[in-house]
Amino acid sequence: MFEINGFDTAGVVKLKRPSLTAALKKAKELVQDGCRDVRVVDPSGRIYTSFDEQAA
């Protein structure tokens, strides 16, 4: 399971997605919606913090 973490005006955002593709897509949506410090953590602990067009 891939974790998506970030912050919005209401506080901490924590979501999970079953695939990297789905997690990166959701992370990109969160950034576009104004969330800050968004990152995706994969099951091995690798952290993704860049969500440009090529990543999703």
Give the DSSP per-residue string, 10-52: TEEEEEEESSHHHHHHHHHHHHHTT-EEEEEE-TT--EE----
Per the structure, the count of domains in the chain is 1
pTM for the structure as a whole: 0.84
Residue 56 has a pLDDT of 41
Q: Report if residue 31 sits inside a domain.
A: yes
Integer Cα distance of 45 and 52 in angstroms: 21
Q: How many CB atoms lie within 10 A of CB 44?
A: 5
Q: Report if residue 56 sits inside a domain.
A: no
pLDDT-flagged residues of the chain (< 50) = 53-56
Integer Cα distance of 13 and 55 in angstroms: 20
Residue 50 has a pLDDT of 80
Q: Report if residue 44 sits inside a domain.
A: yes
Residue 22 has a pLDDT of 96
Residue 52 has a pLDDT of 55
Q: Report if residue 30 sits inside a domain.
A: yes
Q: Report if residue 55 sits inside a domain.
A: no
Structural domain harbouring 20: 2-48
Q: Report if residue 53 sits inside a domain.
A: no
